[in-house]
């Protein structure tokens, strides 16, 4: 398991300036029914274990009734791509207005590939504006995840191979009235994945507010689980706007799907040749998103790769302190712990005394949770 350090000393100005025609993501999410900021909790157990002053957890376990942060990017990007398809440039209609306008058109359909959460979030947004959706998932995908996407009203297509294959199949099969909402980019398809990254800024706007309200010293590092790198890229934008000394940014990946690490070393996105089969399902991606890497690379301090066992141990520990999460959700704290274990001096220098970790997912596969923790997950409280 590797802790790889990168040189980010060239970063001198904020990255990813929001185009003036884009709504502010936090304001956009605020006006949607069901918005609430997620909690910023302290993990004193982990802080004690690592010898840190504090470890914060940004708990992205529930957003708009879905069990991860993904709706933030999917909703913002779906909204903007639909405005473009309708040639609405200046207005910012409400979702009800948008649904009304859409009902007068030949029907669009939202399509996406996903390793779980993104597709479910796109399908949920489609339902809110009265559109059908078609979501491509890799083989294998846990039945509970497929069912959750179907329950949003989507048609689910099980691709013959891994996440990258699902992305390709989705792009190839899209017809004229299909609107692709992908969280990863490829040549000629970049606006929507950039908007997805932008939508994640809401997490960081909330963190700013939570840190200021508590009058505590700011975080020294940000730790995020990475799949195609979109969430990490959003973190990079946030970090680039902080005053010096800026927090360092560490992306955590499964050892078997370390596409962000490979892209950061190579200086470009490279497709991994092996199929990705980590239990950290949301991170099972073989190719980093080029638009994410553009933002991420100048800011990235380090990446950490971890095993499924390490993620599982953190699922168990976090459940013990009241946070029920998936293996992907636990990857950030697992990476932090593993780095301190393997390279204590380098880890102390990179993470500093006050890391903040984004815990990206609640329980999405109860069978897997029960196998790891030895009990079933608690029923979800909708107002958590
Ligand atoms: C639970 C979870 N955590 C983290 C990620 C990583 O996000 P990204 O693919 O933007 O790097 C994903 C992506 O699907 C996810 O589902």
For the chain, the domains span 3-69+200-373, 71-196
Q: Give 101 Cα–ligand 1 centroid separation in angstroms.
A: 32
Does 115 sit in the ligand 1 pocket, CB within 6 Å?
yes
What the block records as the tokens of 178 is 């299909």
Above pLDDT 70, what percent of the chain? Answer: 98
18/372: higher pLDDT: 372
User: What is the mean pLDDT of the segment spanning 89-109?
Assistant: 88
Q: Give 78 Cα–ligand 1 centroid separation in angstroms.
A: 17
Residue 57's DSSP bridge partners are 41, 357
Please, what sign has the CA dihedral across residues 354, 360, 366, 369?
negative
- Closest C-alpha among 11, 9, 24, 14 to residue 205: 24
Confidence at residue 382, expressed as pLDDT on a 0 to 100 scale = 60
User: What is the mean pLDDT of the segment spanning 106-123?
Assistant: 93
Does 137 sit in the ligand 1 pocket, CB within 6 Å?
no
Q: Per mean pLDDT, which range of 13-22, 77-86, 115-124 is the poorest?
A: 13-22
Three-state SS at 130:
coil
Query: Which helix (DSSP H) or strand (DSSP E) does residue 109 occupy?
Result: strand 109-113
**Each residue's pLDDT tens digit, 173-206:** 999 999 999 999 999 999 999 999 999 999 999 9
Does 202 sit in the ligand 1 pocket, CB within 6 Å?
no
Q: Give 163 Cα–ligand 1 centroid separation in angstroms.
A: 12
Confidence at residue 213, expressed as pLDDT on a 0 to 100 scale = 85
Domain 3-69+200-373 has CATH 3.50.90.10: no
Those residues with Cβ within 8 angstroms of residue 125's Cβ, 6 or more apart along the chain or in another chain: 71, 74, 75, 78, 79, 110, 181
The Cα 214–Cα 216 span in angstroms is 5
User: What is the mean pLDDT of the segment spanning 334-361?
Assistant: 97
Per the prediction, the chain carries an average pLDDT of 94
Confidence at residue 112, expressed as pLDDT on a 0 to 100 scale = 98
User: What is the mean pLDDT of the segment spanning 329-340?
Assistant: 98
Ligand 1, atom 15, lies closest to the CA of 282
**Each residue's pLDDT tens digit, 227-255:** 999 999 999 999 999 988 999 999 999 99
Q: Give 92 Cα–ligand 1 centroid separation in angstroms.
A: 28
User: What is the mean pLDDT of the segment spanning 7-32?
Assistant: 84
Q: Give 225 Cα–ligand 1 centroid separation in angstroms.
A: 7
pLDDT of 350 > 50? The answer is yes
The Cα 119–Cα 111 span in angstroms is 8
Q: Do domains 3-69+200-373 and 71-196 have the same CATH topology?
A: yes
Above pLDDT 90, what percent of the chain? Answer: 84
Ligand 1, atom 10, lies closest to the CA of 230
φ, ψ (nearest 5 deg) of residue 121: -70, -40
- Model confidence band, residue 15 (pLDDT cutoffs 50, 70, 90): confident
Q: Give 99 Cα–ligand 1 centroid separation in angstroms.
A: 28
pLDDT of 384 > 60? The answer is no
What the block records as the tokens of 267 is 């200086």
Cβ–Cβ under 8 Å, residues 257 and 278: yes
Cβ–Cβ under 8 Å, residues 305 and 251: no
Confidence at residue 212, expressed as pLDDT on a 0 to 100 scale = 87
What the block records as the tokens of 323 is 């946070």
Does 360 sit in the ligand 1 pocket, CB within 6 Å?
yes
Does 229 sit in the ligand 1 pocket, CB within 6 Å?
yes
Confidence at residue 331, expressed as pLDDT on a 0 to 100 scale = 98
**Domain 71-196 in this protein, CATH class:** alpha beta
**Each residue's pLDDT tens digit, 200-231:** 999 999 999 999 888 889 999 999 999 999 99
């Amino acid at each position: 398991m590797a802790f790889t350090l990168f040189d980010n000393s060239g970063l001198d100005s904020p990255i990813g300036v929001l185009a003036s025609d884009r709504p502010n993501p936090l304001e956009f999410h605020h006006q949607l029914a069901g918005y609430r900021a997620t909690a910023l909790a302290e993990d004193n157990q982990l802080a004690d274990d690592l010898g840190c002053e504090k470890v914060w957890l940004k708990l992205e376990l529930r957003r708009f009734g879905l069990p991860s942060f993904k709706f933030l990017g999917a909703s913002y990007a779906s909204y903007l791509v639909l405005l473009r398809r309708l040639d609405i440039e200046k207005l910012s209609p409400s979702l009800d207005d948008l649904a009304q306008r859409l009902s007068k058109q030949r029907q669009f359909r939202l399509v996406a590939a996903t390793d779980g959460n993104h597709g479910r979030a796109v399908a949920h947004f489609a339902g809110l504006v009265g559109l059908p959706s078609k979501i491509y998932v890799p083989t294998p995908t846990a039945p509970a995840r497929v069912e959750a996407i179907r329950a949003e009203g989507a048609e689910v297509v099980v691709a013959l191979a891994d996440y990258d294959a699902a992305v390709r199949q989705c792009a190839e099969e899209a017809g004229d009235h299909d609107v692709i909402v992908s969280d990863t980019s490829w040549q000629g398809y970049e606006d929507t994945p950039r908007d997805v990254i932008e939508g994640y800024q809401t997490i960081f706007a909330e963190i700013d507010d939570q840190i200021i309200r508590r009058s505590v010293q700011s975080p020294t590092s940000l730790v995020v689980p990475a799949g195609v790198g979109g969430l990490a890229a959003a973190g990079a934008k946030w970090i680039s706007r902080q005053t010096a000394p800026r927090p360092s940014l560490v992306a955590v990946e499964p050892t078997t799907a370390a596409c962000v690490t490979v892209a950061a070393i190579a200086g470009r996105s490279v497709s991994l040749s092996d199929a990705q089969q980590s239990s950290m399902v949301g991170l099972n991606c073989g190719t980093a998103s080029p638009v994410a890497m553009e933002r991420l690379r100048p800011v990235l301090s380090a990446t950490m790769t971890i095993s499924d066992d390490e993620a599982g141990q953190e699922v168990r520990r976090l459940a013990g302190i009241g946070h029920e999460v998936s293996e992907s959700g636990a990857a950030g704290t697992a990476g932090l712990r593993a780095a301190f274990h393997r390279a204590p001096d380098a880890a102390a220098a990179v993470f500093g005394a006050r890391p903040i970790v984004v815990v990206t997912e609640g329980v999405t596969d109860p069978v897997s949770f029960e196998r790891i923790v030895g009990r079933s997950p608690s029923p979800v409280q909708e107002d958590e």
